Amino acid sequence: MKALVLEKRGVLSLRDVEIEEKVGPADVRVALHTVGVCGSDIHYYTHGSIGPFVVKAPMILGHEASGTVVEVGAEVRNLAVGDRVCMEPGIPDPMSRASLGGMYNLDPSVVFWATPPVHGVTRESVVHPAAFTFRIPEGVGFGEAAMVEPLAVGLHAVKKAAVAPGDVAVVLGAGTIGMVTALAAVAVGCSRVYVTDILKAKLEIAGGYESVVPIDVTAEEAAERVRSDTDGWGADVVFEASGNEQAAASVFDYSCPGGTVVLIGMPLRPVPMDIVSAQAKEARIETIFRYANVYPRALALLGSGKIDLKPLITETFRFDESVAAYEYAAQPKPTSVKTQIRVAESAQS
Amino acid sequence: MKALVLEKRGVLSLRDVEIEEKVGPADVRVALHTVGVCGSDIHYYTHGSIGPFVVKAPMILGHEASGTVVEVGAEVRNLAVGDRVCMEPGIPDPMSRASLGGMYNLDPSVVFWATPPVHGVTRESVVHPAAFTFRIPEGVGFGEAAMVEPLAVGLHAVKKAAVAPGDVAVVLGAGTIGMVTALAAVAVGCSRVYVTDILKAKLEIAGGYESVVPIDVTAEEAAERVRSDTDGWGADVVFEASGNEQAAASVFDYSCPGGTVVLIGMPLRPVPMDIVSAQAKEARIETIFRYANVYPRALALLGSGKIDLKPLITETFRFDESVAAYEYAAQPKPTSVKTQIRVAESAQS
Amino acid sequence: MKALVLEKRGVLSLRDVEIEEKVGPADVRVALHTVGVCGSDIHYYTHGSIGPFVVKAPMILGHEASGTVVEVGAEVRNLAVGDRVCMEPGIPDPMSRASLGGMYNLDPSVVFWATPPVHGVTRESVVHPAAFTFRIPEGVGFGEAAMVEPLAVGLHAVKKAAVAPGDVAVVLGAGTIGMVTALAAVAVGCSRVYVTDILKAKLEIAGGYESVVPIDVTAEEAAERVRSDTDGWGADVVFEASGNEQAAASVFDYSCPGGTVVLIGMPLRPVPMDIVSAQAKEARIETIFRYANVYPRALALLGSGKIDLKPLITETFRFDESVAAYEYAAQPKPTSVKTQIRVAESAQS
Amino acid sequence: MKALVLEKRGVLSLRDVEIEEKVGPADVRVALHTVGVCGSDIHYYTHGSIGPFVVKAPMILGHEASGTVVEVGAEVRNLAVGDRVCMEPGIPDPMSRASLGGMYNLDPSVVFWATPPVHGVTRESVVHPAAFTFRIPEGVGFGEAAMVEPLAVGLHAVKKAAVAPGDVAVVLGAGTIGMVTALAAVAVGCSRVYVTDILKAKLEIAGGYESVVPIDVTAEEAAERVRSDTDGWGADVVFEASGNEQAAASVFDYSCPGGTVVLIGMPLRPVPMDIVSAQAKEARIETIFRYANVYPRALALLGSGKIDLKPLITETFRFDESVAAYEYAAQPKPTSVKTQIRVAESAQS
pLDDT digits (tens, 9 = 90+) for C23-66: 999 999 999 999 999 999 999 999 999 988 999 999 999 999 99
Look at residues A37, A50, A40, A15 and name the one whose alpha carbon lies nearest to residue A337.
Answer: A37
Residue contact D100–B293, C-beta within 8 A:
yes
Per-residue pLDDT at C348: 43
Per-residue pLDDT at C51: 87
Neighbours of chain D (3+ CB pairs under 8 A): A, B, C
Q: SS3 for D241?
A: coil
Cα–Cα distance list, D302 to C17, D144, D149, D180 (Å): 56, 8, 13, 12
Q: Which portions of chain B are predicted below pLDDT 70?
A: 346-349
Per-residue pLDDT at A348: 43
Domain chopping of chain C, boundaries = 2-147+309-342, 153-287
Percentage of the residues of chain A whose pLDDT score is greater than 90: 98
Residue type, C244: N
Residues of B in Cβ contact (< 8 Å) with A158: 165
Cα–Cα distance list, D262 to A277, D189, D237, D283 (Å): 14, 17, 8, 10
Banded model confidence at residue A51, pLDDT cuts 50, 70, 90: confident
Cβ-contact D182, D214 below 8 angstroms: no
Per-residue pLDDT at D159: 98
Selected from 3.40.50.720, 3.40.50.1360, 3.40.50.2300, 3.60.15.30, the CATH number assigned to the domain covering D153-287 reads 3.40.50.720
pLDDT tens per residue across span C55-114: 999 999 999 999 999 999 999 999 999 999 999 999 999 999 999 999 999 999 999 999
pLDDT tens per residue across span A302-316: 999 999 999 999 999
For D191, counting Cβ atoms within 10 Å of its Cβ (0-12 exposed, 13-18 middle, 19+ buried), the class is: buried
What is the CATH code for B2-147+309-342? Answer: 3.90.180.10
Residue contact A297–B78, C-beta within 8 A:
no
Kindly report the nearest CA distance between residue A307 and chain C, in angstroms.
23
- Residues B49-53: contacts with CB within 8 Å, 24+ apart? B49/B9, B49/B116, B51/C276, B53/B115, B53/B116
Banded model confidence at residue D141, pLDDT cuts 50, 70, 90: very high
Mean pLDDT, all residues of chain A: 96
| pLDDT (mean) for A107-120 | 96
Neighbouring residues of A11: CB distance < 8 A, sequence distance ≥ 6: none
Positive or negative, the CA dihedral D51, D56, D61, D65 is negative
Residues of A in Cβ contact (< 8 Å) with B137: none
Banded model confidence at residue D51, pLDDT cuts 50, 70, 90: confident
Per-residue pLDDT at D171: 98
Look at residues A249, A258, A262 and name the one whose alpha carbon lies nearest to residue A170.
Answer: A262
Is pLDDT above 60 for A181? yes
Banded model confidence at residue C302, pLDDT cuts 50, 70, 90: very high
Q: SS3 for C166?
A: coil
Per-residue pLDDT at C349: 36
Residue contact B99–D101, C-beta within 8 A:
no
Residue contact C286–B284, C-beta within 8 A:
yes
| pLDDT (mean) for A142-161 | 98
Residues of C in Cβ contact (< 8 Å) with B164: none
- Across the interface, which of D98, D270, D281 has its CB nearest the CB of A106? D281
Per-residue pLDDT at A182: 98
| CA angle at D24 for the pair D18 and D28, rounded to the nearest 5° | 80
Kindly report the nearest CA distance between residue D97 and chain B, in angstroms.
8
DSSP 8-state assignment for residue A132? G
Q: Helices marked H in C239-321 — which ranges? A: 245-249, 251-254, 275-280, 295-303
pLDDT tens per residue across span C233-264: 999 999 999 999 999 999 999 999 999 999 99
Per-residue pLDDT at B51: 87
DSSP 8-state assignment for residue B155? H
pLDDT tens per residue across span D276-310: 999 999 999 999 999 999 999 999 999 999 999 99
| pLDDT (mean) for D22-48 | 97
pLDDT tens per residue across span A279-334: 999 999 999 999 999 999 999 999 999 999 999 999 999 999 999 999 999 999 99
Instruction: Tell me how far apart the alpha carbons of residues A129 and C253 are, in angstroms, rounded to a whole number.
Output: 50
- List the 248-307 stretch of C: residues with Cβ below 8 A of A: 292-293
| pLDDT (mean) for C116-129 | 97
Determine the residue of chain B that is closest to D97 in CA distance.
B131
- Across the interface, which of A97, A275, A288 has its CB nearest the CB of D279? A288
Is pLDDT above 80 for D91? yes
Determine the residue of chain B that is closest to D296 in CA distance.
B97
Look at residues A344, A343, A317, A320 and name the one whose alpha carbon lies nearest to residue A328.
Answer: A317
Q: Does D25 touch chain B (CB under 8 A)?
A: no
Per-residue pLDDT at C207: 97
A2-147+309-342 and A153-287 share one fold: no
Determine the residue of chain D that is closest to C166 in CA distance.
D297
DSSP 8-state assignment for residue C137? P
DSSP lists the bridge partners of residue A111 as: A91
Per-residue pLDDT at B347: 45
Residues of D in Cβ contact (< 8 Å) with B94: 94-95, 99-100
